[in-house]
Amino acid sequence: MAASSSASSSSALSRLSNIQNHLNPIDSLAKNLVKISPEVSEALSHGHAVVALESTIISHGMPYPQNFETAKEVEAIVRNNGAVPATIAILEGLPCVGLSTEELERLAKLGSKAQKTARRDIAHVVATRGNGATTVSATMFFASMVGIPVFVTGGIGGVHRHGEHTMDISSDLTELGRTPVAVVSAGIKSILDIPRTLEYLETHGVCVAAYKTNEFPAFFTETSGSKVPCRVDSPEDCARLIDVNMKLKLGSGIVIGVPIPREHAAFGRVIESAIQSALREAREKNITGNAETPFLLARVNELTGGLSLASNIALVKNNALIGAKISVALAQLRQQESN
């Protein structure tokens, strides 16, 4: 009887500990600094599966209303696979984790008027009560702050070509080196330098895994020619990897590269050809720095007649499906350990 009572008390304490782990990061900051939607808050407090989603793809990735419809479809995929979506953005200076349909549409209508917000921009956008669409680095920061371990995006940033001269390296990579969140993506766009990106991630101690493959995916194509040190073949494999990373307090994130669905990868060569043309144009016009990536993506979409955007949407939806399954597997693993 005493043993049963002790086990019950231990289980209760474990559940309380889980709740505190979710809430303490927020309590340690000024109150009311972050707004968490009721749905996300309830899911976190009960240890249920939650998937963080970025907002730059909504405001800067495509026009309204296509961006609004895509955002709703991605959230629906997460819900239909057992997890709660938590789209992250800054609205009127208030960081929001989990957006209502009205807030989602507002962000979609704002479009590029919402500032593209990386980690470096957070303080400024909040202080000036601005509207910010969070990139990978900013979304990771807020996800970690509230205790969301899984984040889904299209692709992460990387080391730009000729980055050894320009030092143009995405803050996404640095964030992965210091924020323990697993990022499910289709790799990085081949407008970037994939081998150097992987080297940079290794330097920062970031575990890079590939889903059901030994090669790092290249966004529009399934393969990049670069091998990864870690292969995961199921959501359960991913969950165990994330769980161990958190328990060991390694302090760094994880990249889980999911290849684009095969039916869309068929267009990869067409898109790759357009990317090479766009890169040549950028060099001829001396377009560099922050202006380079928007120019390249817009030009590639023009050259492919919208094919690259359609592929982008398809891979984001596929990542949302895999990410939700990983989040559910992680929640189940933690529940089993607390019983």
The residues that are catalytic are 54, 189
Question: Under 8 Å CB-to-CB from 138, ≥6 apart: which residues?
Answer: 54, 88, 117, 118, 119, 121, 122, 132
The span from the CA of 328 to the CA of 217, in Å, is 24
The span from the CA of 11 to the CA of 145, in Å, is 25
Do 216 and 198 meet the contact criterion of CB atoms below 8 Å apart?
yes
For residue 95, give the nearest of 120, 123, 71, 116 by alpha carbon.
123
List strand residue ranges (DSSP E) for 193-325, in order: 207-211, 230-232, 254-257
Structure-token pair, residue 274: 């357009």
Do 224 and 218 meet the contact criterion of CB atoms below 8 Å apart?
yes
Structure-token pair, residue 202: 């290794």
- State how far the alpha carbon of 107 is from the alpha carbons of 54, 60, 72, in Å: 12, 10, 12
| Residue found under tokens 């090669």 | 215
List strand residue ranges (DSSP E) for the chain, in order: 35-36, 50-53, 84-91, 94-97, 115-117, 132-134, 150-152, 182-185, 207-211, 230-232, 254-257
The span from the CA of 134 to the CA of 61, in Å, is 12
